[in-house]
Amino acid sequence: MIFIFYFFKVKLIYKNKIYKIKLIKYIMSLESEETNTSSFNDDNNIKIIKNKEDLINNDLHINHELNCLISIYLLNIISNNKLRSDYKDLLKKQKKNIFNVKNVPKLSIGDFLYRITFYTKVSYETLISSLILMEKYCNKNQIIITIYNIHRLLFSSILINIKFMEDKVFSNHFYSIICGVNLKDLNKMEYEFICGIQFEIYIEKEYFYEFQKSIKQ
C-alpha cells in the first residue's frame, strides 16, 4: 500500500507539471470563443492565469498528497464495484442518470482533481466533506461509483460543498468551464445531487474525522 501511494504521488507530481501547461492552453482556447471579451472573467472578476508567475503562485495552495490519497481512494471504490455480482445490472439502471456519460472521460481522476483544486482553491475540509456527501448520495439513491459517473458526481459534490463551506464562491458559468460541461447540465447536476441527498449537507464532526482517517489508511 505504501509503495502504491508513493508511486501515484510521484506520477501525479510529474504529470501535474505537464498538465499546468495543458490547462492554460485549454482555458485560452475557451477564451477565444467568448464574444467581445479578451479574457474570461466570472461575476466575481476572477482572471484566467496567463503567465508563469501566476501559475506557480496558484499552485502553492494545492495539497498534492491529499489529491493523491483521494485519487487512490476513488479508484479503489471503482475497482471494488466492478467485482460486484450485480455490477452490470446497476450500470443499466443508472444509464439515464445525469451523472452518467456514454464514453469514459479522457481526463484521469487525478488530473481532474488537480484541475478542480488548481482553479477553485478549494480547502482540505471541503474536499473531504465532498467525498462524504458523494457516499451519502450513492447510498440514498442506490447508485454505484463507476468510471462513467465519477467525474460528474465528484464535481457536483465539491460544487455544493464550496457554496456551503467556502468564503469565495464564483458563478456556475465559471465552474462549468472547469468541469467541462455546459451550464444547463451543471445546473441539472447540482439540482439532482442536492435533492438526492435530501438537502442533508451538514456532517457531524466525529464522522468527518473518522472518514478522514479511513482515507489516510
Range of the domain at 94: 2-216
Per-residue pLDDT of the chain (217 residues; tens, 9 = 90+): 544 444 444 444 444 444 444 444 443 443 333 333 222 233 333 334 344 344 444 555 567 888 889 999 999 999 999 999 999 998 888 988 999 998 888 889 999 999 999 888 888 899 999 999 999 999 999 999 999 999 999 999 999 999 999 888 999 999 999 999 999 999 999 999 999 999 999 999 999 999 988 887 6
pTM of structure: 0.72
Number of domains in the chain: 1
CA distance 173 to 171: 5
Grid coordinates of 67: 489529491
Q: What is the CATH number of the domain that holds 197?
A: 1.10.472.10
Backbone dihedral angles phi then psi of residue 102, each to the nearest 5 degrees: -70, -45
User: What is residue 62's predicted lDDT score, i.e. its pLDDT?
Assistant: 64
What is the reported pLDDT for 143? Answer: 93
Say which residues have a Cβ less than 8 Å from residue 143's Cβ, sequence separation at least 6.
90, 94, 97, 99, 137, 149, 153
Q: What DSSP assignment string belongs to 77-144?
A: HHHHHHTSTTHHHHHHHTTTSTT--SS--SS-HHHHHHHHHHHH---HHHHHHHHHHHHHHHHHHT--
As given in the structure block, the three cell numbers for residue 43 are 461575476
3-state secondary structure of 176: helix
CB of 161 within 8 A of CB of 129? yes
